Structure 1
Amino acid sequence: MSHELVIGCVGKPSAGKSSFLNAATDANAKVGNYPFTTITPNVAVTHYATECPCKKYDKMDQCQPRYGKCDKGTRYIPVKMLDVAGLVPGASEGKGLGNQFLDDLRTADVLLHVVDVSGTTNEKGEETTGYDPINDIQWLKDEIHAWIFNNLKKLWASVVRKQQTTKCMAESILHKKLSGYGTKLPVIRETLENIGLRDPIPLDTWDDDNIHKFVDSFLHCRFPIVLVLNKVDMSASDNNISKICNKYPNEVMIPSSALAECFLKKMKTQNYVKYKEGDDNFLLNDEDPTLKQCDEKLQGRLEKLRDLVLYRYGSTGIQQAIKSAVELKKYIPVYPVKNLKSLSCDKSGGSVLRDCILVPRGTQVREFAGIVHPDIEKYYLYAEGINGQRMGEKDIITEQNNIIKYTSTGVEGGNNANNEEQ
């Protein structure tokens, strides 16, 4: 499975988060047009699509993923997705299900903010007409910011006292105080560097403005956001999308229709269409006689979906949103193998490219050995890349050196042997 990457689906109630989860996964999350349809977080597995090395090394007919799948050289890597309770203005003060939402958020690595661009739900998720969603983006950021700022502000006196008595580096103290958000030390270091700060930093000189600035940078590093502009097939969506793009030109945003994807998946299951996730079109009976014949009503619905979503935006946006989330967080797919020639994962020469693990950018070669299996790191001897050359244990793994063979000493007898576990 993927290495602990969790994508969080966030947004106001009834924005389409649960529909997005159903479209992106095989989950059956409760869907409704009333606030707080989701009370407890829905968890499911989606897939990140990327080019598989089997295509480059002419192994497509032998590729055998243990998890996910490989479809003609496109690898679908499992990724956990979390759909949390809807957020309303004032959530950081406990309004709506705010406290629960924010606590659920702690486990996410990257956020997909599902925005209802149709204008048919207000800021509380209630049905309406003509609502302007332009501010939904900022107030969600503001609520998450307020949640972290308020928690940090309550602790600030102890933060300052700790630094004064121990003379510790600011990054170490801040890391400890923010560890409840699943934060690692490099994230704190990056947060400080992004606002031009590096230890030694006297935290007793910070006022509220300094803390707000730090929290803004922390959110950018810890919880990067992809905007999913949902319900693009509704009449008022085009105008709202244009306004959002103009106001937030630097944000990563993907137009989408979660319900369109759900419908296409259903039609595919019932053999009315031939469709592949992420494609810009589908086939009907007149193009593939093995498919069922649609009646006039179903034909019209599918043609409308094709015109309003697929032709206009290039896809339903679901796969593109997942791909953008993984790549915004800068995760890299890595393939541990036992044989660099056959790319197999067992001594018999089978299980070609069986395993693929997503790791954060900056992961080192020996560090990844421990991710594959603790014993490989414990009894580590050396690692080799696809060209057969040895890799330094502190070498950084990139997309260019992400097929790795490890050699370790046997647990018994001290003989050199490839660890059987991958």
Structure 2
Amino acid sequence: MASSFVIACVGKPSAGKSSFLNAVTEASAKVGNFPFTTIEPNEGIAYYPVACPCATQGVSERCQPRHGSCVGGKRLVPVRLLDVAGLVPGASEGRGLGNQFLDDLRHADVLIHVVDASGTTDEGGKETRGYDPIDDIRWLRGEVEAWIWGNLDRKWAGIVRRHVATKAAPADTLHVQLAGYGTAREIVVRALDRLPRDFPELGRWESKEELRRFVGVFLDERFPTVVALNKIDMPDSDKNISAIMKRYNQKSSTTLLDGVSVDNIVLTSALGECFLRKMHKQSFIHYETGSDDFSLDLPGLKPLDEKSRRRLETIRDLVLFRYGSTGVQEAIVRAVDALGYVPVYPVKSLANFGTPAAFRDCVLVKPGTTVREFARKLHNQALDRGYAGAETIGGIQLGESDVIVAGKNNVIKYSTTSHE
């Protein structure tokens, strides 16, 4: 069973999106088959690190994931990454590859927006000086908002009339209109819940401003966004990063400013990550993604030429020591965490967690998933028909309606009865 969500990577030309994609999809953790039936040409596989229970249960030496990898209790779980095409101003009006860009977004659950923090590329990706990267953040949100608001606004009067006539629930009326954007009803419900208590009922939305406010909170729920401020080792990046952090460090508004929370801004050096991985793969250094340093003096490593050594020292000084990592793995972590997905480990035995290999599977599930819901997703009708119960570590019995929580009941053994 594959984790079902999709992370979409967006960014203007020359912002570093291609380098970012290379950095997060060429991990050495690519072992075994992927848990996805098909991978489209513009899709890749990234890896989400989680703490594997094999470490706390003393079976790390037997932990052999069916997908991804696990080393010393650090498990890398494969997730889908979508390379979204054609991000330029005017996408909502069909400019550039705008129609393809917007169509790709329908398949996304969360966005990673790669932004050139150095200000050395303009809105079209051409070389310049002094460009404000905040503009890129603004117009991404503006394009998506114009796309959805424009479609709703053109037919809004008719929508309201039908809503009043049918006396449907507001969430049902809006879900009919928003389903084409890959929207589940629960997202519409969450968006409505975020509106102020004194906000008019749907049938009384008479101004464009009311519709705009709803679209704003809807977009916050439908497309949570992680901003990857890239090229952090460039000369002008520091002042731009400070300005961006200051702008988005606001907590009071119902709607996020430009759809961005300061908690979901990550500082990245995609090119730095790519170079470190290349040097590691060629045995010049020892490096693990997400680390704050690399090693040059371990047995078996090849000698470095002076040019490579200088570049490595620059990455160490301007990126690793300064910011703690290259940030690319953290961007993936923030994207998955923005969705609240929970890692679940289904096992056949709580005594040994699998023989000869332990903890073969790890599945990321939506927040709020219950024990019985996961059983249905795991084995469909077979386990559902013969469901007899479930338990977790320590022989603790789980109720069907118990919500799965990481570190509490997310190692699950199901029991079945024969079903004629």
Change (3 A) 1:202 1:241: closer
Number of residues of Structure 1 aligned to a counterpart in Structure 2: 394
For residues 226-375 of structure 1, the aligned pairs below 5 Å read 226-249=226-249, 250-251=261-262, 252-284=264-296, 287-344=297-354, 349-374=355-380, 375=382
1:409 aligns with 2:410: no
1:381 aligns with 2:379: no
1:25 aligns with 2:33: no
* Cα drift, residue 296 of structure 1: 1.0
For residues 9-88 of structure 1, the aligned pairs below 5 Å read 9-26=9-26, 42-88=42-88
Task: Determine the C-alpha separation between the residues in 2 that align with 1:2 and 1:254.
Answer: 27
Q: Which residue of 1 aligns with 2:398?
A: 391
Secondary structure of the corresponding residue to residue 79 of structure 1: strand
Change (3 A) 1:385 1:201: farther
Q: Is the 8 A contact 1:2 1:77 kept in 2?
A: no
Q: Which amino acid aligns with 1:18?
A: S
* Cα drift, residue 198 of structure 1: 10
- Per-residue Cα deviation, 1:33-86 (whole angstroms, up to 9, x for no partner): xxxxxxx97210000001101111111111111000101100101100011114
Q: Which residue of 2 aligns with 1:34?
A: none
* Cα drift, residue 381 of structure 1: 2.2
Q: Which amino acid aligns with 2:276?
A: L
Gaps of 5+ in 1: 28-39, 414-422
Q: Which amino acid aligns with 2:384?
A: E
- Per-residue Cα deviation, 1:200-251 (whole angstroms, up to 9, x for no partner): 9343534211111111111111111111000111111111111111111142
Task: Determine the C-alpha separation between the residues in 2 that align with 1:104 and 1:229.
Answer: 22
Task: Determine the C-alpha separation between the residues in 1 that align with 2:43 and 2:18.
Answer: 10
* Cα drift, residue 165 of structure 1: 2.9
Change (3 A) 1:378 1:213: farther
- TM-score, normalised with respect to structure 1: 0.89
Change (3 A) 1:288 1:299: same
Q: Which residue of 2 aligns with 1:127?
A: 127
For residues 120-199 of structure 1, the aligned pairs below 5 Å read 120-196=120-196
Task: Determine the C-alpha separation between the residues in 1 that align with 2:41 and 2:130.
Answer: 29
Identical pairs, percent: 51
- TM-score, normalised with respect to structure 2: 0.90
Change (3 A) 1:175 1:197: farther
Q: Is the 8 A contact 1:383 1:390 kept in 2?
A: yes
Task: Determine the C-alpha separation between the residues in 1 that align with 2:79 and 2:155.
Answer: 34
Task: Determine the C-alpha separation between the residues in 1 that align with 2:417 and 2:165.
Answer: 46
Secondary structure of the corresponding residue to residue 259 of structure 1: helix
Q: Is the 8 A contact 1:41 1:82 kept in 2?
A: no
Change (3 A) 1:202 1:245: closer
Task: Determine the C-alpha separation between the residues in 2 that align with 1:169 and 1:205.
Answer: 14
Change (3 A) 1:229 1:202: closer
Secondary structure of the corresponding residue to residue 358 of structure 1: strand
* Cα drift, residue 387 of structure 1: 2.7
Q: Is the 8 A contact 1:112 1:226 kept in 2?
A: yes
Secondary structure of the corresponding residue to residue 55 of structure 2: helix
Change (3 A) 1:156 1:197: farther
Q: Is the 8 A contact 1:64 1:351 kept in 2?
A: yes
- Per-residue Cα deviation, 1:151-173 (whole angstroms, up to 9, x for no partner): 22233234223323321101011
Change (3 A) 1:187 1:263: same
Q: Is the 8 A contact 1:92 1:147 kept in 2?
A: yes
Task: Determine the C-alpha separation between the residues in 2 that align with 1:43 and 1:178.
Answer: 24
Q: Which amino acid aligns with 1:369?
A: A
Change (3 A) 1:338 1:199: farther
Q: Which amino acid aligns with 2:105?
A: L
Q: Is the 8 A contact 2:119 2:128 kept in 1?
A: yes
Task: Determine the C-alpha separation between the residues in 2 that align with 1:15 and 1:295.
Answer: 29
Gaps of 5+ in 2: 28-39, 250-260
Task: Determine the C-alpha separation between the residues in 2 that align with 1:270 and 1:258.
Answer: 18
Q: Is the 8 A contact 1:2 1:356 kept in 2?
A: no
Change (3 A) 1:167 1:113: same
Secondary structure of the corresponding residue to residue 60 of structure 2: coil
Task: Determine the C-alpha separation between the residues in 1 that align with 2:134 and 2:202.
Answer: 39
- Per-residue Cα deviation, 1:75-113 (whole angstroms, up to 9, x for no partner): 101100011114222211112211210110111111111
Secondary structure of the corresponding residue to residue 235 of structure 1: coil
Change (3 A) 1:350 1:299: same
